[in-house]
Amino acid sequence: MRKKIKFLSISILVIIVFLSTLMGCTEKPEDIEKGTLTVLYSGGEEWFQQRYGMLFTTKYPKVDIEVVSTKSLQASGTYSKEALKKYIDEENPDVLVLNTTEYVWLNEDNCLYDLTDFVYGQGFDSDGILPSVLEYLKIKGNGKLYGVAPTFYSTALFYNKDLFDSLGVPYPTNKMTWDEVMNLAQRFVDAGINIHGISQSFQNDPFNFAKNLAYYKGVSLYDSKRDLILLNSTEWKQIFELVVNAYKNGVIYDPKHETEKREITQEEILRQQNIFLLGESAITVDNYYLIAMIDKASKPVNWDVVTLPIDEKNPNTTNGFYVSQIFSINRKTSNLELSKKLVEFVNGNNFAKRLGKSSNELVSRTRYIENINNKNIEAFYELKPGDYMYQNSQEMPGGLYSSISEIANRELYEVISGLKTLDNALAAIQEESEIALKTLKMEGE
């Protein structure tokens, strides 16, 4: 089951050192005892080798790395805390590369080694890491640090400066509320020009916007511990009201109203990704990787960013912040010191310098984030992370989210069209979602 990454040949090592130099890696080999590290990594052997393993073994040429992948486990449709723990018990990896959900799962069951003293002790240089990254991991670790992440994701509000200038509309600013953003976007609709106020990436439906808004506000869709759908609440009603009104007023781009059939051209591909890339919307909310997509767009977009709109109750925090490559150590490892070497390496300055030049993720050592054309990149990490648990599909029964999405969009479009009240739609969404949950559970038994 294990696949080994071995760099034993002198000729291969010479090539690796050469390539690493070209990529800006200045690590010098260190003479430590020969050893083997087993790493749990969802991306599999090849991706780990390209991203981490090759450079680590350049510095530590006497160390072999074995990669065990959770790919098949996650693709099985039965991925859970119990399944992951069983897999770890069978494979006994030393280092675990986890997403936030897995990090919380394993921390809850005391499976991870406490790295607090190691990271904040001498030699690690924790001062160079964005405090929000470490704080986020401590929040998920109930006050202790059980992992370190070399990169993080964060969401910000992008805006097209030329479109704002053309109408004399003031630019968005940091720490705006969602109501303020909607009012800005409304001005583009009121101007009667063929420009949309707000657009989304990839999924351009009302429920997707509402779901993202709920996440940013820290409002949950599903309670995995109690196995409950949480849509019939005051918080969700307020979110749906905001979204329904925005769609009614044409503030949010809705491709459903477009009847023109287009050829599959490069421009149409960009349109399906996000019309912001074509200069056809004034505002979009997205992750740092949108910058790379803008750079590849066929038309130049004069953009900048400000912080994600805030929740008025917590104006200095954001829930649009998470990490997905958390390096943790198995509490049962017999390779503790070597495991610490890997954790320290991938979170070190030289590795961050390389990532800052090539990654579409934000580097935790923010001094190495490349700022092209003096954009307000700090907007991605100005706010502190909130304590809302990043909820992804791993926490929900398979197929539940897609079922809820289909039900909610049908009901929301009826409200937008004036065929149903929001109260009636909300009751129907809750009721049918509960039925969908029960059906999925019965099918899984």
* C-alpha–C-alpha distance, residues 427 and 440, integer Å: 20
Q: How does DSSP classify residue 351?
A: H
**Can you read off the two tokens belonging to residue 53?**
């393993």
Place of tokens 């398979």: 398
- pLDDT values of the chain reduced to their tens digit, one per residue, 445 residues: 444 333 333 333 333 433 443 344 445 666 566 899 999 999 888 899 889 999 999 999 999 999 999 988 877 667 889 999 999 999 999 999 999 989 999 999 999 999 999 999 887 999 999 999 999 999 899 999 999 999 999 999 999 999 999 999 999 999 999 999 999 999 999 998 889 999 999 888 999 999 999 988 888 899 888 889 999 899 999 999 999 999 999 999 998 866 555 666 666 667 778 999 999 999 999 999 999 899 888 789 999 999 999 988 889 999 898 888 999 999 999 999 999 999 999 999 999 998 887 778 899 999 999 877 789 999 999 999 886 644 555 567 878 999 999 999 999 999 999 999 999 999 999 999 999 999 988 886 5
Can you tell me whether residue 109 is helix, strand or coil? coil
Burial class (CB in 10 A: 0-12, 13-18, 19+), 320: buried
**Can you read off the two tokens belonging to residue 412?**
């929301």
pLDDT recorded at residue 363:
95
Q: What residue ranges do the domains of the chain occupy?
A: 3-153+321-385, 205-252+397-445
Q: How does DSSP classify residue 378?
A: G
pLDDT recorded at residue 28:
60
* C-alpha–C-alpha distance, residues 47 and 29, integer Å: 22
Amino acid at 71: K
Can you tell me whether residue 139 is helix, strand or coil? helix
Superfamily of domain 3-153+321-385: Periplasmic binding protein-like II (3.40.190.10)
**Can you read off the two tokens belonging to residue 307?**
């912080």
pLDDT recorded at residue 299:
84
Q: Are 301 and 370 in contact (CB under 8 A)?
A: no
Phi and psi at 8, nearest 5°, equal: -105, -25
Phi and psi at 273, nearest 5°, equal: -75, -50
Buried/exposed code over 51-70 (b: 16+ C-beta within 10 A; e: otherwise): bbbbbbbbbbbebbbbbbbb
Place of tokens 């649009």: 320
Which helix (H) or strand (E) segment holds residue 293: the answer is: helix 290-296
pLDDT recorded at residue 272:
74
pTM of the predicted protein model? 0.86
pLDDT recorded at residue 138:
93
pLDDT recorded at residue 45:
87
* C-alpha–C-alpha distance, residues 54 and 20, integer Å: 8
pLDDT recorded at residue 421:
97
CA dihedral angle for residue 263, residue 267, residue 269, residue 272, rounded to 10 degrees? -100
